[in-house]
Amino acid sequence: MNIQQVKAMMELQALGNLGSIASSSSEGTNMFQTVLDRALQTTGTDTLGSVQNLLNTMPHHASSPTLALSQENDARKSQETGIDSIISRAAERYGIPAKLIHSVVKQESGYDPSATSHAGAAGLMQLMPGTARGLGVTDVFDPEQNVFAGSKYLKQMLVKYDGDMKLALAAYNAGPGNVDKYSGVPPFKETKNYVRKIMDSYYA
C-alpha cells in the first residue's frame, strides 16, 4: 500500500459520517466497503475532497434500503386503499399522531382490512369482539369503523398512562389489567416484541 492509499484511509476514517454509513446491516457494511474501495483508488492531491464528495452522494442514515422500501410499499398500499385518509381523519379527531396509528395498523394487520387472528381479533387494528362492541363497532371489517374505534381505544390508553406510549401500546396488546398488574410492560415475549416493533416503526 503506497502513501497515497494510506492517506486516503486515514482521511476517510476522520470523516464524521462513518457512524451513519457503517451500520450493523449488511447494506450498511456493503456501502462502507464501497466507500473504502473507491477511496483506496483515489488519486491526485485532493484525496479528502474526493472522498467527501463520494460520501455526499450516499444516504447518511442508518435505515437500510430494505426498510425504506418496506415503508414506501406500506405508504403506497395505505394510499391506494383509502386507509391513509381514514387514518388522517382518526388522528385529527382523537389528537394522536397519524404515524402512530399507521405503525399499529402495520403491526396488527399489515393493512389488510380482512385480517383475523386465532384469538378472534379482526380488522385493520385487530379489535377483539368485546372491545369492538364497547366502542360501538357494528362491522369490524369496515376500515373506517375499525380504525376510528382502534384509534379511540389507543387514545384512551394514552390518557390512562399519562402519554406513555410504551405502556399504552402494551395495554393495547395485552390489556390494561396486565400493565397495571406488572406496573409496566408485562414480561410477555409477544407484548415486549409488539411494543418494540411499533416503537421502531414509529421512530423510523
- Cell output for 134: 364497547
8 Å CB contact between 17 and 55: yes
- Residue 83 burial by Cβ neighbours in a 10 Å radius (0-12, 13-18, 19+): buried
Cα–Cα distance for residue pair 102/110, rounded to 1 Å: 10
- Cell output for 53: 464528495
Q: Residues 51, 54, 58, CA angle at the centre, nearest 5°?
A: 135
8 Å CB contact between 125 and 149: yes
Q: Which of the residues are catalytic? A: 108
